[in-house]
Amino acid sequence: MLDIKENVPLSEHSTFHIGGAARYAVAVSTVDELQEAIAWAKINKVTWRVLGSGSNVLVSDAGYKGLIIWYRDKSVNVDEESGFIEVGAGALTAVVAGAIARAGLTGFEWAAGVPGTIGGAIYGNAGASGGEMKDSVREVHVLEKKGIKTYKLDECEFAYRSSRFKTNPGVIVGATMKCPRAENSNDPMEKMKEVLKYRMDTQPKGLASSGCIFKNYEPTDDEILELQKKNVPENFLAAHRIPTGWLIEQSGLKGFQIGGAQISPVHGNFIVSTGDTKSSDILAVIEQVKSVVREKFGVELEEEISIV
Ligand SMILES: Cc1cc2nc3c(=O)[nH]c(=O)nc-3n(C[C@H](O)[C@H](O)[C@H](O)COP(=O)(O)OP(=O)(O)OC[C@H]3O[C@@H](n4cnc5c(N)ncnc54)[C@H](O)[C@@H]3O)c2cc1C
């Protein structure tokens, strides 16, 4: 029996801690329950949407008029011998990183300290410190209209902060990952500590956010010629990726604030909530950043977060 709740404040279910309520919300932990929840939405003629930990979303002030579904299969099974890992989509990415490292497997240490669930991380091909989901994911299991479908790595269309799951309907319910055994000289637990320290040193602390707001900018060859004239460092252009935090900082926007929404003085690509922030404040800062960066560098920033 589903425990569908009404008028659930989504501010309590997203790391920004702002925005309105969901008309209906339910947590499920099996595929059967998930199918039941989707059927309930259909019968009651409301839209539905799956969320993980809400660490990459901005909930609008008006909230969500339909049914929010949390898929909470948090299972993590690591086979130390073969290096295969079976995970439920509701497992926390950082918990999975810890389990993999403790088993002496390597390649997923970058995910230490990344908030959110494996489902959300696969959806956006999350990444940090040179690693991405696509490096360790082998198969993704998705509930679609006709039942569970398994996508092999080369069918997932992983790209920078993107995957086929962003543009095709379906709920990610689990994944198979594979990580190689660490060499004796490489201790995955030590590597995780380094990754966590780097995050602590470079990201704002103590204020609510949704991580990086914009994707880093990937210029075309034509744009690179223009950007050279605007003193964008050669190493960014050679990598075909300009850190958006740098573009925002160079535009003089660090610390810029509307209402409670502030561009973090620590990291230009973070918008932090300084208290009593409305979703509309965040959206206004996003628009201002896009406009100033467009004016100064001639590039169009794209949001990394999804709007609910
Ligand atoms: C402080 C901070 C630091 C961060 N650092 C990083 C970082 O280093 N690298 C990085 O990549 N990201 C980072 N993020 C962003 C965020 O942690 C990741 O994008 C994370 O993977 C989102 O997972 P989630 O469960 O919270 O997804 P949610 O925010 O709940 O959802 C994000 C999107 O995924 C969809 N989704 C979620 N679960 C499923 C599912 N099971 N099936 C289908 N669709 C689904 C949702 O509909 C939504 O559109 C950071 C965020 C914060 C707050």
Tens digit of each residue's pLDDT (9 = 90 or more) over 107-118 = 999 999 999 999
CB-based contacts of 239, cutoff 8 Å, min separation 6: none
pLDDT at site 202: 86
Q: Cα separation of 250 and 263, whole Å?
A: 13
Quick one: DSSP state of residue 240? T
Q: How far is the CA of 42 from the centre of ligand 1 (A)?
A: 26
DSSP states of 52-107: SSSSSEE--TT-EEEEEEEE----EEE-TTT-EEEEETTSBHHHHHHHHHHTTB-S
Q: At what angle do helices 93-102 and 188-202 cross, to 10 degrees?
A: 150
Binned at pLDDT 50, 70 and 90, residue 165 comes out as: very high
Of these residues, 33, 161, 179, 223, which one is catalytic? 161
Q: 227 and 233 in contact (C-beta within 8 Å)?
A: no
Mutate to test the pocket of ligand 1, among 12, 51, 71 (most ligand atoms within 8 A of CB): 51
**Cβ(116) to ligand 1 under 6 A?**
yes
Query: Which candidate, 255, 275, 252, 265, places its Cα nearest to that of 202?
Result: 265
**Cβ(172) to ligand 1 under 6 A?**
yes
Q: Which of 1-10, 81-90, 181-190 has the lowest mean pLDDT?
A: 181-190
Q: 119 and 152 in contact (C-beta within 8 Å)?
A: no
Q: Cα separation of 20 and 17, whole Å?
A: 10
Distances (CA, A) of 181 to 80, 87, 107, 185: 8, 18, 9, 12
Cβ count within 10 A of residue 72:
18
Mutate to test the pocket of ligand 1, among 34, 55, 172 (most ligand atoms within 8 A of CB): 55
Q: How far is the CA of 210 from the centre of ligand 1 (A)?
A: 9
Q: Give me 92's structure tokens.
A: 């926390």
Query: Which atom of ligand 1 lies closest to the CA of 124?
Result: 19
Q: How far is the CA of 112 from the centre of ligand 1 (A)?
A: 14
pLDDT at site 301: 96
Q: Is residue 132 flagged as an active site residue?
A: no
Q: How far is the CA of 272 from the centre of ligand 1 (A)?
A: 16
Q: Cα separation of 134 and 152, whole Å?
A: 11
Beta-sheet strand order (sheet of 261-263): 257-258, 261-263, 271-273
Average pLDDT, the chain: 95
**Cβ(113) to ligand 1 under 6 A?**
no
pLDDT at site 261: 96
pLDDT at site 27: 98
Binned at pLDDT 50, 70 and 90, residue 93 comes out as: very high
Q: Give me 252's structure tokens.
A: 């003089």
Quick one: DSSP state of residue 182? P
Q: Give me 184's structure tokens.
A: 């004796």
pLDDT at site 200: 87
What predicted TM-score, i.e. pTM, was given to this entire model? Answer: 0.95
* pLDDT digits 0-9 by tens, 235-294: 999 999 999 999 999 999 999 999 999 999 999 999 999 988 999 999 999 999 999 999
Cβ count within 10 A of residue 201:
9
Arithmetic mean of pLDDT, 189-201: 92
CATH numeric code, 5-71:
3.30.43.10
Of these residues, 132, 156, 179, 212, which one is catalytic? 212
CATH assignment of 204-307, among 3.60.21.10, 3.40.718.10, 1.20.140.10, 3.90.78.10: 3.90.78.10
Arithmetic mean of pLDDT, 119-125: 97
110: exposed, middle or buried (Cβ count in 10 Å: 0-12, 13-18, 19+): buried
Binned at pLDDT 50, 70 and 90, residue 78 comes out as: very high
76-193 domain in CATH 3.30.465.10?
A: yes
Q: Is residue 194 flagged as an active site residue?
A: no
Q: Cα separation of 179 and 133, whole Å?
A: 11
Q: CATH 3.30.465.10 residue ranges in the chain?
A: 76-193
Q: CATH 3.30.43.10 residue ranges in the chain?
A: 5-71
